[in-house]
Every structure is written in structure tokens, then in C-alpha cells.
Copies of this chain bind each other. A is one copy, B any other.
């Protein structure tokens, strides 16, 4: 059973739509590379044959505004490349069925130059008929696992992650192994589905930020504070593991090669300009993380403990900023451009 916890819905102060600056920086950092790979590697004449429909999907789009920005960018790059006014663009906005599609649709840009569609469902499974997509895009999303690895839920397992909420900071290597195994299973499903859906010659760009994962531990320590104060059962912390895995170049190369339907046109670790990270703006980063993680926390701990943990962590922003200044060098993200063989 796949689990999913969407970004915070609507547009209130803790909503994702108001708290996605970090994801925006990620996208801005990737725009130029995105343009280059499309210009160098996309061969539209062979792909389209008799039809004029050009189909783009944003996998794990959430609710905007970032997705509108990237989709318009892809449309514009393709238009500029082909100096072609006869193409009709379809943009498929995909996310879990419990994503807030109402907010997404209601904030669609008026001046868009494409036909928009909502595609509800997990990108770990099939979403579209075969050979439907010319460019697939997935930013700040493949690091979400389809579920928490089940070994992490078993107190008797060697992967029991005592006192922590993620593999980062865990000295127990079995914890990391459980995350990696789940990631590989998920990516197998992901690539099998995309191999069917993307036309031969079509492209897929994956962008995976590695900016804020170290900050997860501060939420973990706020939870442990609550345990030490007797307000929370430690079992609940031990059995909670944020289901995100940040892949390395080697991880991604391995899953792409295993699938064998895509060629890697470009893969690199880049350092996007991130004002938030450079300035160690922990407060904004933590509020961003809250918008992303709140649903997940509430599901496990209930609303009261979740809110208490977020409030306490955000109050530690100065301390976190100080930590960031010493420990962080640069923001970084993985950029991968693939072509369907």
C-alpha cells in the first residue's frame, strides 16, 4: 500500500503555495541546464510524426506556483528551438490523488500557452497510456519514497532507528540499507512506468535537491525533547522515519542502468544559487520544511504534538543558522537528463 502525504494545501501562511521558495531556487538553478539538454538532445521531428501535439508532464507537481514556472519554461524552450507555431502543447500536472488539485487549477496562469490537465495518482505506477509523453519533468519529488521501509517499523529488526527520524545521523548502517532498498524498489516501478509512457526519443529531466535533509535532525531533536519531558512516548519517535531518500549520482546511475530503457545524457551534482542556504536563513528553511512535512507528522503524532514540534524547531532558528554557517558549504542538487531509447 502506497502512502502519501501531500504538501500543505490552500494558501494560508503555512501552505506549500506560500512556502516553496527553496523548491523555487532549485528550479531556477536548473533552468539553464534544462534548456541546454532540450536544445542538444530533443529531436522533435522524429518524435511527433503526423501529430502536432507536444505533451509534457510534471511528476509530483504539488500545487504551484513552481510547477507553472517550470512548465512554461519547457514550453518556451521547445517553441524557441523549433520556431514553430503549429505545435499544440499539453501539460499534465501529476501528483497523488490527495494533492490539492483545486488550488492548483484555480491558480493556473491566465496567459498560459498550453492545455492543462490534472493527473491524479502515484508516479511510482502508470499514469498514462503508452507513448504519451515527449518531455517528463520531476523536481524535488523523486526523493519521496512510496512508503516507510517496513523494517524500520519493527522494534525487533536490526534497522530499528532509535531516537532518530531519518537515516541522516544514524550510526546503524541497517537503517541506511533499508532506505536504499526501498528507493531502489520505488525507482524500478518509476522507470518501468516512464519507459512505457515516454515516446522513443522523448526526454526526462529529474532534479533532486540535497539542501535541507540535514535540517531534518532538528525536528527529530525537538521530538526527543518532548520525549525527555515525558510528553511523548519514545516508541512513537523510534517508529517514525521520514520517507525521503536523497540519491547520489551512483544511486541514480544504478537504477537507470538496471531499467535499461533510458540513456543518460547528463548527470551531475550542481550548486544552485540558494539565497536561503547561503545566508543560513534557517527560519525560512524550517517553515518551508514545515509546509512539506506537516501532513506526515500529523498523521503519525497527531496534530498537537506535530504543531508543538514544529513550533519548537522554528524557535531554534538562530541555533540552526549558527550550525548551518559552520557545517554547510553550498546548496547542491542532482540534475539528470535522460533520453528514452
Given contacts A53-B132, A129-B88, A129-B90, contact A108 B115 (CB under 8 A): no
One digit per residue, 1 when the CB lies within 8 angstroms of any chain B CB and 0 when it does not, for chain A 306-339 equals 0000000000000000000000000000000000
Write out the residue numbers on chain B whose beta carbons fall within 8 Å of the beta carbon of A128: 90, 115
Chain B neighbourhood of A97, CB < 8 A: 105-106, 108
Does chain B have a CB within 8 A of A92? yes
Closest Cβ–Cβ distance, residue A98 to chain B (whole Å): 6
Nearest-neighbour CB distance to chain B for A100, whole angstroms, equals 6
Cβ-defined contact, B120 with A108, below 8 A: yes
Q: How large is the interface on A (under 10, 10 to 19, 20 to 34, 35 or more residues)?
A: 20 to 34
Nearest CB of B to A182, in Å:
24
- Neighbouring B residues of A272 by C-beta, 8 Å: none
Does chain B have a CB within 8 A of A116?
yes
Residue A16 lies at the interface, judged by CB distance under 8 Å to chain B: no
Classify the secondary structure of A's interface with B: mixed
**Copies in the assembly, this chain:** 2
Whether the Cβ atoms of A117 and B118 lie closer than 8 Å is yes
A141 at interface, CB cutoff 8 A: no
Besides the known contacts A115-B129, A116-B119, 20 further A-B residue pairs in the complex with CB atoms under 8 A apart: A52-B129, A88-B129, A88-B130, A92-B117, A97-B105, A97-B106, A97-B108, A98-B106, A100-B102, A101-B101, A101-B102, A101-B105, A101-B118, A102-B102, A105-B120, A115-B127, A117-B118, A117-B119, A118-B118, A118-B120
Which of chain B's residues have a CB closer than 8 A to the CB of A129? 52-53, 88, 90, 115
Interface residues of A (CB under 8 A from B): 52-53, 88, 90, 92, 97-98, 100-102, 105-106, 108, 115-120, 126-130, 132
User: Taking the nearest CB of chain B, how far is it from the CB of A89, in angstroms?
Assistant: 8
What CA separation (Å) do A53 and B132 show in the bound complex? Answer: 9
